[in-house]
Structure 1
Amino acid sequence: MEIKKPKTSRRMDRAVRPSRRSSFGSEADFEKIVEMGNDGIFVVGGDGKILFANSMASTITGIPRERLLGRDFPSTLGKEEKDFLGSFSGREGAEGQKLCVEMEITTELGEKKAVEVCLVRGTRGRGEGKTYVYLRDITERRRFEKEVRNSEEKLRTLFERVRHGLFVSSKEGRFIECNQAMLEMLGYENKKELLRKDLPQDIYVRVEDRVRFMEKAEREGCVKDMEVEFKKKNGEKITVLLTAYPIWNDRGEVVGYEGINLDITERKRIEEELRKANEFFVNLIQSSVDGIIAADMKGNILIFNRGAEALTGYRAEEVIGKIHITKIYPEAVAKEVMKRLRSPDYGGVGKLAPSQLSVVDKEGREVPVQLSAALIYDRDGKEVASVGIFTDLRPRLEMERKLQETHVQLVSSEKMASLGKLAAGIAHEINNPLGGILIYASLIMEDLPEGDPRRQDLARIVSEAGRCKEIVKSLLEFARQTEPKMEPTDVNRAITEGLFFLENQALFHNIQIVKNLDPFLPPVRGHAGQLKQVFMNIIVNAAEAMHGNGVLTIGTSSSSDRKRVIVEFTDTGEGIPPENLPRIFDPFFTTKGVGKGTGLGLATSYGIVQDHGGTIHVKSQVGQG
């Protein structure tokens, strides 16, 4: 380093000292100011020896200040002269011009530091031939810059490696920057190609979504999880969740947006499949004619389908989350169901094979049901819920009742068939001699003169024989085996013929029969024999209720529109207790002693009246008939 020999003092040339006319007042004042800086300051003579060094210069170089003075300047930086001068190669400056370079130095203690070295050649005059050196420790700055660079590299790496689409876009509708995931999401291989695309026209499926996004971002300061549809390069549509923030300039104007796009197309597809599957199972549950009820282990009802609504009379909104599961069972039945579910004896642990029990409807009535149930477990095998399928047994029980009635009627029909066969045989056996009696008695009457007293006896014989034929005829009609033929029938006549068959029996000898029959009664479409059987059953029951002594009143009338006929039977018997009234038409129900009744008479009568499109109503009070 070629520097001319100084002509000034041993510490600092007057060129760097203020003039005595300066406002600093003294060299000491100037040195104080120099010491206040954070930079090391050297004054180097023309021979390269240090003439002056402040305290910071000593701190930076690690060399005591007294040892710096007179020392070759490059050596203080741990460098050879040629290396030091090489740092300024091609950068020779004019007088007073500052030349700066950054370099790494090694202190006397072996510590490496990054420094910025600035040289200023002295101007002509007292500072001529001297060089002023400013030394600044930039180690921390270098470290910080390195960390920033590393951070930027990490951010760039992170930006590119994020699996979701990151972007920066302009307000005008162009991508300024995007990551690899964004390219892949939209099906582009070349970033430049994507950056040229017009977002509203080429990327958004609906232009109005872009407008809506911009308005919301500017209005609210951000857009979070906005669901929009994008177009891929091949035209395929994808659904994304868009989250972004606006970019503002110094004037407070929005100039762009930065954010992230999450491709949720697959998630939407799965959600749609789950929705359809859930909808299918909900419809399946709701469409079941059986009641399906599910409850958690605390007894809170979770599922209550339309079948359960029809079964119990409750609506789902009245039950779910409001009624405990035990409320739909009779007392203690719910606990018994859970006990069976946890037992291996009723279909296996966690299952309940079909079992018959009762549930309680909204009105408090017990409804017979068949229950199949199961426990629901989580992944850890813990009980989380129970579900039951309730089949209403009322239709089946009603069907069984009707089948029983049909069976009874079949048995009765078989009996009637047997009676019909017997009656047919009796008719043949009785009608032949009765016919002979009638013929010969009539012939004898014709041969006797009018005044002969025997004619009166023969007339009695003819009359009684004719009565016997009517009895046999009625018996045949009552028990005949032919299918009932519906035809216009005189109800009054059916009642009269039935009475004719009964009134001479011993049970009726002390019973007064009052007939209030409407002579203008319209005919009904029916079977005379079956109607006669109904009337006879009722009449016999009335006579037995009066124990053969009382008044039986029989009345007929027509409805106001003359489309229906009303027949009333009133007796003065002992009456029917209220608890027996609902059961008097049940098959085999009887209050008579053993061997005195089968309980089939009124049941058969009820069926016949129903078959004729009619109804039977009973009113009774105990002791009044």
Structure 2
Amino acid sequence: MIVSAFPIVSVDLIGSMLMIVFSLLCFERMVRLTSLERENILWTYLLFVCAALSIFAISRSAGHIVKQVLLFVEVPWVWGHIRPFSGSVNTLTFILVASVTVFFERVWVINRAILRDRRALRDAHEELSWLNRNLEILVDERTEALAVSEKKYRRMFELSGDIIVVTTGDGRLLAINPAGEEHLEGRDHFGAFFTDVERFQAIMEAIGQKGRVGNTEVTLRGLGGRTFRALVSGVTDIDSGEGTILFMVRDVEETLTMREKMATTEKLAAVGELSAGVAHEVNNPLGIILGYTQLLKRSAEDESTLKEDLSVIEKHVIGCKKVVESLLNFARSAPPEKRPCDLHKTIGEVLAFSRHQAEMDGIQVISELADTLPEIYADAEKIKQVLINLIINAVHAIDGHGEIHVTTGIADPGTVFITIADTGCGMDADTRSRIFDPFFTTKPTGTGTGLGLSVSYGIIKNHGGEIDVISTPGKGTAFTIHLPTAG
């Protein structure tokens, strides 16, 4: 019986010893792996599992060996006392393996989070290290970019043709660009440039309520007392944190003046066409009335009342014909008889007979002619008519003693100018806008027809020129004529 059980006992003993050897080898291998990668939680977990299994293998194998030895020495009853302890050790080792496996999932999550944070810290460390190495280069690049941006906006501020003004919230000036310095006199408050203070207050209120204001037409005071119309836009600079206001001011005086000239030209063209029709229709009846009046006057007795009445009729009909003739001159579209002429000679002829009459009224006529002046291509008689009309108007505008200045010069290549300026009463803006309208006059009734400036305007236009007026109430008026040269 003992011989027949020998193979089983041999397998049990050899298997138990091999189990102990293999479990210890596995444990030793895991110890080495864990020592090489201490941060690897998987190796740590397998180390605990191998340790528990090694204990289980030793306990289990030792129990089998002891059992076989006790059976061999024929004391089996001892095994009955040892067996419960061996089973308890086996159970505890399995509980240990199960516990490690159950808690490993949570440990694994924590370990992954730790590794993720560690990688983030490592990346942050690398980024900080890179920034530390390249900080000086980055600062230089940012400084250069900031300098370029500042230079760009500074050039926009300085080279802008429009006026740029930076003020505080109450309108006190902080900065003004060169264009503003060229247009506006030095003042400490933006509102001081406005001719209408209430207009400025309305703009500031609109900015305070809405944060911005669109193009608003205002009148500003410029250098040398000049006033000009402008469009003002404003916006609050929120980014500055100081409540500053940025104003953009565009001078539109020249644009508006050009529009007014175009409107005047169109209006005069329309009135000219109407005047031509009316003049032709009226001129024929006036000629008939004048003819019959003169016939009746010849047949009337010299001392009779009828002849005196006919003389009155004749006088007024002749006056009407002169008005009609002026209308025809104003409306006539036929080109003047142009030829090269010396403008100074033409002016000299006009001043020869107008200066004496002006000096009798206590008015001094001062000529300030250029040394040399190119010839103009014009109808000299028409130009004389314009100059005489302007000088007569200047004489009427001066109440008492005063001066009339006649100035010539070269405006630009191909253009000469004549300026007739007086020290008279001047004109307000409303009167200035209507002076070229037919039949508009500021003279007393019966003194002027209101066609002088209209006809003068038409003559200068037919010569390809321009006529401008600058006038200030109480300071006088200046008419400037621009004419092309013969070239």
For normalisation by structure 2, the TM-score amounts to 0.40
Higher relative contact order (CA 8 A, sep 6+): 2
Normalized per residue, the structure richer in helix is 2
Q: Please identify the structure whose Cα radius of gyration is greater.
A: 1
For normalisation by structure 1, the TM-score amounts to 0.33
